[in-house]
Amino acid sequence: MKYLGLLLLLSVGLFGLCGKEPPALAVSRLLVGKDWVWVSWTEKTGAQASRERIDACRKDDVIRFEHSHGQQLYTESKGTLSCGQPSGSAQGKWQLAKDGRTVTIIGEGAAFDDTWQIDELTETRLQLAYRVATSSGAFVMKMTFQKR
C-alpha cells in the first residue's frame, strides 16, 4: 500500500511537469509570425535621463521572426518613410536562450545584430534591451515595437 501511494504521488508530479511549456517555446509563440513595427529607441547612461533616439522616418520599419524549414529566420524591412537611404531589407537568423529571456539576432547589415534581453513581450508589444557597464555607469538601450 505504501508503494501505491508513492507511485500515485510520482504519477501526479510527472503529469504536472508534462503540462508545462518550456519558457523559450512560450516566448517563441508570442514572438513569431508577427510584423513588429519599431516605435521607440531610448538610451540611458548612469544617472542621466533616458533620451529618445529614434528618427521619425524609422517609425514604420518592421522586424519579423519566423520558423521556416527548421530554421529561425529574421527579417528587417524599411517602411515607406525615407531616411535618405535606399529602401530595402536585411535578413538573418535568430535564437532564443533556453530560459526565453534573451534573443540573439545574427544578420549581415541587420540593425539589431546582437544579443538582446527581452524586457517585455505580449501579443501586441515587444521591448528589447541591451545593457552594458561603462565608466559612466550602466548603459541601457531599449527598442520598443508594436504589432502591426
End-to-end CA distance of the chain: 59
Domain residue spans of the chain: 21-147
What does pLDDT average to over the chain? 89
* Statement: residue 146 has pLDDT above 60: yes
| Lowest mean pLDDT, pick from 19-23, 33-37, 56-60, 135-139 | 19-23
- The C-alpha atoms of residue 138 and residue 59 are separated, in whole angstroms, by 26
Pairing of strands 137-147, 35-45: antiparallel
Half-sphere CA count of 28, side-chain side, radius 13 A: 18
Question: pTM of the entire structure?
Answer: 0.83
**What is the band of 50 on the pLDDT scale with cuts at 50, 70, 90?**
very high
* Residues in Cβ contact with 41 at an 8 Å cutoff, skipping those fewer than 6 apart: 52, 53, 54, 58, 141, 142, 143, 144
* Statement: residue 16 has pLDDT above 60: no
| Lowest mean pLDDT, pick from 13-27, 82-96, 120-134 | 13-27
On whether the 21-147 domain is CATH 1.10.10.10, my answer is no
Higher pLDDT, 3 or 131: 131
pLDDT of residue 7: 45
Site of grid cell 521619425: 56
Q: Assess contact for 43 and 137: CB atoms under 8 A.
A: no
- The C-alpha atoms of residue 52 and residue 121 are separated, in whole angstroms, by 20
Q: Assess contact for 136 and 127: CB atoms under 8 A.
A: no
Closest CA to 130 of 58, 139, 121: 139
Phi, psi (degrees; rounded to nearest 5) at 53: -120, -10
**What is the band of 24 on the pLDDT scale with cuts at 50, 70, 90?**
very high
